[in-house]
């Protein structure tokens, strides 16, 4: 029953989908290091924001003073909060294409053969009509 619902894909279709959907780290660091670096990068700006807020509010601590309260609020609102955002990895097809272009540029691969390979990758990345 399950086999009937799924459409069989040809090897060419599988490769096209792989080039379009599979992703690779193009940031330049070890892909395994992301497990530690992403949480660390999310933590750092939050910690800096909490520290700054605490320092500003600590300076305004003490007896209730309208002027001190307003200056503390102004100091907090003057500077934008720090933030960090993840960015997704690049599609496999683009990574392979960039590698081939680099090989041609460095003279590792002949220009004609490299151009033909790049053309094939571009054709595979096109959606079927």
Tens-place pLDDT, residues 46-86: 999 999 989 888 877 777 778 877 888 888 888 888 999 98
Q: Which residue has the tokens 């599979």?
A: 22
Beta strands in 5-127 (DSSP E): 23-24, 90-91
Contact assessment for residue 91 and residue 23, using Cβ atoms and an 8 Å cutoff: yes
Kindly report the CA angle at 101 between 97 and 104, in degrees rounded to 5?
140
Contacts of 110 (CB under 8 A, 6+ apart): 104
State yes or no: pLDDT of 2 exceeds 70. no
Nearest residue to 104 via CA among 95, 122, 117, 91:
117
List pLDDT tens digits, range 101-129.
Answer: 999 999 999 999 999 999 999 888 875 43
């Amino acid at each position: 029953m399950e086999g009937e619902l799924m459409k069989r894909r040809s090897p060419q279709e599988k490769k096209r989908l792989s080039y379009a959907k599979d992703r690779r780290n193009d940031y330049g660091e070890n892909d395994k290091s992301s497990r530690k670096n992403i949480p660390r990068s999310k933590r750092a700006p939050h910690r800096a924001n909490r520290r700054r807020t605490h320092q500003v509010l600590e300076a305004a601590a003490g007896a209730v003073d309208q002027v001190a309260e307003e200056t503390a609020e102004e100091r907090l609102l003057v500077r934008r909060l720090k933030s960090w955002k993840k960015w997704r990895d690049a599609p496999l097809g683009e990574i392979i294409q960039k590698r081939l272009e680099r090989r041609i540029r460095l003279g590792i691969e002949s220009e004609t053969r490299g151009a033909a390979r790049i053309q094939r990758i571009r054709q595979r990345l096109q959606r079927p009509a």
